[in-house]
Chains A and B, each alone.
Chain A
Amino acid sequence: MELLRVASLSLSYKTRKGPLKAVNNVSFSIKKGETLALVGESGSGKTSTATAILRIVPRNVHEFKGIIELEGVNLMKLSEDELRRNIRWKKISMVFQGAMEALNPLMKVGDQIAEPLIIHQGYHKEEAMERVKELLRMVGLPEYVAERYPHELSGGMKQRAVISMALALQPIIVILDEPTSALDVITQANLMNLLKELKWKLGISYIFITHDLPLASELADKVAVMYAGRIVEIGPAEQIYLDPKHPYTKKLIFSVPALRMERAPMFIPGEPPNLINPPPGCPFSPRCDEKIEICEKEVPTLKEIDPEHMVACWLY
């Protein structure tokens, strides 16, 4: 059985110029222990998809619908209270984009990790501090970090602390939203090593959000490529990286300069589309050099072209 099944998920925001479709009919699923990378350019709707799964949506929601099924239970049908008590942080947790910069500067790191355990889970102070030590060890931090303030830690250490918070209640899915984008390459590599080890040891599934395709290959079993709020291609990492089908995926992969392979980067001409008044037809059509007549008229839907490999493009 699928661990998580998302079907026809849509989320739009009210804006002054009209509704903005940030997540448009998104569907995917994840098996236990499997990692899905959600990749796409800035504004393609990655964070919106993640927050929709946890039902942490901003006030200016215009429309929010779809199915989010965790182990067979549709989270959309649960009350906010049930969601808070049984799902959020316990089953699915999230490391928010920029979270390490959002740590409270006036509070010791250990207390920040312990706080939700005490307030929401009824831990005693000592119990919670024991768990904090355990969590710090798990993410490769020395115990003394508990006694430090955020500004006394390096970026890499802060990010580890933030990850330890997401692990506190032993979730089965952890959503990581650009967890390394502010870090240096070596620090980033160390953190990716940690995420791999946690995955192997604890059998966690990640939803790993990034705009960095090479980085996504460090974790992804499966890759979903987002463009203008839609998934335009999804499939096993091998197929997406080695045999991409959607013209956008191809362009995206070839726009990355490779260090070990010999492949000069190409680029994608034009600009990403406006999400308030999207172009008719395929959202990528204005920038696509393989387009055919129908592309500018009708929106292509995801079609399975190989087992587990789906593409939304009129060429297939």
Chain B
Amino acid sequence: MVVLGDEDMPGDNENIILEVKDLKMWFPVRKGLLSKPEYVKAVNNVSFSIKKGETLALVGESGSGKTTLGKTVLRLYEPSEGSIIFDGKDISHLTEKELRWFRKRAQMIYQDPYESLNPYYKVYDILDEVLISNGITDKEERSERILSVLDRVGLTPPSEYIKKYPHMLSGGQRQRVAIARAIILNPDFIVADEPVSMLDASIRAQILYLLREFRESYGITLLYITHDLATTKYFSDRIAVMYAGRLIEVGKTREILGNPFHPYTQALIEAVPDPDPQNRLKLRGTPPGEPPNLINPPPGCPFNPRCPKKLDICEKEVPELIEVSPGRKVACHLYRT
């Protein structure tokens, strides 16, 4: 087990692998040819950091900007503003050529194993391609690494899987291939974007345990994107909650789930059913409405139109993400001191 460090101490930056500051990823959209562009503010002023070996869960509803944030920190997008510091180096605006070292160290696992694997490649070639494009010329070495990585993701015996095409595999097996592809270069950091949401409940846990095992045995740092709060409880150290492009609460997993501060986090937790036959006898308290449009979010706190506890100021000022107790941050006017 990796023992996780204590709270961030001021100046304790050695353990931080990724630091994101005031990050914005705004996508321009044009209504007509002559009209001014408007922006989808998919990531809006986001700051957070991840320590080495840590799993940070990024949770939030559909369209809140989770995937965009994940892709931006991996520099699959160039940020509109703000900075991304990976292992001490600012990668925010590096060119693809300058990013080559980073590409080896940071990987992404996608939600849909059906779409993320090339259907015309055999498992062997899917993995071989990654090695070749990263300059590993020795054929024997590549073959060894491919067999060993398949073994590590539980596709055993590997010889049985290398000749298969993705369509010959089950959803769970495909996601294992996707994981093998992500770890074959021994990365330090992985963004796993809803890695199990397409899979049946009975195999979800299997894949999540596999990811946890890699974290524990190789110290891989994980940004685990999900809308499934229950899995974060068992598979993450900290949670960052995203709403309408902003982070609205960050803290240790157990603290957030046990005692959520932000009214949105509270609503999110309240909405999740546990398997309990009593559930059918009562209604759930939930906020009305749906998340705002990201082109013209409401002024003030983005949650204010749905918030049961809002104050006058909530419609006027955007609450900042401030530390309310060690390691715990909330963006809500109720917690201003």
Contacts and interface: CB of A to CB of B under 8 A. Distances in A.
Contact of B257 (A155, A211, A240, A259): A259
B280 A220 contact: yes
A106 interface: no
Interface in B265-288: 267-280, 283-284, 286-288
A188 B59 CA distance: 16
Contacts of B29: none
B201 to A, nearest CB: 6
A8 interface: no
B290 A154 contact: yes
A251 B205 CA distance: 12
A255 B275 contact: no
Contacts of B206: 267, 269
A189 B284 contact: yes
Interface stretch (B105-113, B143-151, B228-236, B317-325): B228-236
A93 to B, nearest CB: 21
Interface size class of B (residues with CB under 8 A): 35 or more
B202 interface: yes
Nearest to A187: B290
Nearest to A253: B275
B227 interface: yes
Task: Tell which of B201, B270, B276, B280 has the most Cβ of chain A within 10 Å.
Answer: B201
A186 B271 contact: yes
A193 B205 contact: no
Interface in A143-198: 154-156, 184-190, 192-193, 196-197
Contacts of B271: 185-186, 188-189
B204 interface: yes
Interface of A: 35, 41-42, 154-156, 184-190, 192-193, 196-197, 211-221, 236-238, 240-242, 251-253, 255-261, 264-269, 271
18 contacts: A185-B229, A189-B284, A192-B284, A193-B283, A196-B283, A197-B283, A214-B274, A214-B275, A217-B274, A217-B275, A217-B280, A220-B280, A237-B277, A251-B202, A252-B201, A259-B269, A266-B205, A271-B172
